[in-house]
């Protein structure tokens, strides 16, 4: 009996010192562009350890995510790969005023398979007859496809390349097609090319020659956990997150609030 009482007292002491078993303080839902998958998962892991909040992600093409939010899907934060999708939600009053900020930029690269891939030295090579299938995020809607189309139009190459284009739902789908040998080449973000060992960068578009790429992030109006969402938004704008984004190949912007 004395031993049992001692065990109980020790257990109570541990509970008083460390607190009760910690459940998630709250659960946040973040809708984010597919190209942010690896960076945000790493950022969220550290944030969850620090705060006890659980971050649940919905990764997809930004156009798909914007449509889901527009139709009422529950989200606390939207992190888009382009401004157009955020603009659409903002125009409908579905973004919290004053919360929007441009956080990241990126650059475009042409990738081919690492093994037995086609030879490409410049964007003009994409028009060669030997290049038959080029995967792009849907050039009419998905940000990476829209950016790629604008770049190729600027070079006067789009009409020659368009018949070869196989549209995908997001940048990861385009990358996977090249990895699996289902496409000869693709134009993807530099950050996505860097995570794959099955592709190589055949051509990197200089920042000053490529399209203006912006990743805006904002709070979604009607979120169930607005205060917790604001804390995570602030964390995304902080130095810890910036270091992870930079290590993953993103260009970190100053995050100036959009009024």
- The pLDDT of residue 254 is 75
Domains of the chain: 2-105+214-252 (3.40.190.10), 108-204 (3.40.190.10)
In tens, the pLDDT along 121-130 reads: 999 999 999 9
Give the pLDDT band of residue 226 (cuts 50, 70, 90): very high
Give the pLDDT band of residue 158 (cuts 50, 70, 90): very high
Residue written as token pair 């000869």: 184
Q: Is the predicted pLDDT of residue 2 greater than 80, yes or no?
A: no
Give the pLDDT band of residue 11 (cuts 50, 70, 90): very low
pTM as predicted: 0.84
Angstrom distance (rounded) from CA 3 to CA 235? 47
Q: Which class for 104: exposed (0-12), middle (13-18), buried (19 or more C-beta within 10 A)?
A: buried
- The pLDDT of residue 24 is 57
- The pLDDT of residue 256 is 53
In tens, the pLDDT along 16-46 reads: 444 444 445 899 999 999 999 999 999 999 9
What rounded mean pLDDT belongs to the chain?
91
Angstrom distance (rounded) from CA 150 to CA 226? 36
Name the least confident of 7-21, 66-80, 82-96, 218-232. Answer: 7-21
Angstrom distance (rounded) from CA 159 to CA 127? 9
- The pLDDT of residue 25 is 81
- The pLDDT of residue 73 is 95
β-strand pairing of 108-113 with 185-189: antiparallel
- Output phi, psi for 115, to 5 deg: -110, 125
- The pLDDT of residue 22 is 45
In tens, the pLDDT along 173-184 reads: 999 999 999 999
In tens, the pLDDT along 228-254 reads: 999 999 999 999 999 999 999 999 997
Q: Is the predicted pLDDT of residue 259 greater than 50, yes or no?
A: no
């Amino acid at each position: 009996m004395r031993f049992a009482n001692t065990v109980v007292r020790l257990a109570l002491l541990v509970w008083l010192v460390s607190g009760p078993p910690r459940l998630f303080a709250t659960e946040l839902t973040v809708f984010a562009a597919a190209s942010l998958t690896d960076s945000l998962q790493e950022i969220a892991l550290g944030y969850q350890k620090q705060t006890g909040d659980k971050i649940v992600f919905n990764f997809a093409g930004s156009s798909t995510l914007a449509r889901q939010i527009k139709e009422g899907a529950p989200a606390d934060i939207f992190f888009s790969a382009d401004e157009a999708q955020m603009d659409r939600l903002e125009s409908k009053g579905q973004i919290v005023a004053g919360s929007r900020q441009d956080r990241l930029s990126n650059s475009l690269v042409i990738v081919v398979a690492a093994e037995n891939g086609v030879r490409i030295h410049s964007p003009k090579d994409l028009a060669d007859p030997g290049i038959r299938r080029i995967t792009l995020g849907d050039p009419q809607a998905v940000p990476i496809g829209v950016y790629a189309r604008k770049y190729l139009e600027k070079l006067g190459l789009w009409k020659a390349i368009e018949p070869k284009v196989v549209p995908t739902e997001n940048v990861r789908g385009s990358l996977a097609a090249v990895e699996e040998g289902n496409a000869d080449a693709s134009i993807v973000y530099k950050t996505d090319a860097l995570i794959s060992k099955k592709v190589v960068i055949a051509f990197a578009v200089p920042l000053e020659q490529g399209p203006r790429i912006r990743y805006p992030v904002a709070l979604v109006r009607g979120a169930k956990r607005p205060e917790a969402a604001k804390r995570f938004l602030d964390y995304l704008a902080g130095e810890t997150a910036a270091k992870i984004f930079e290590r993953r190949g993103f260009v970190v912007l100053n995050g100036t609030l959009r009024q």
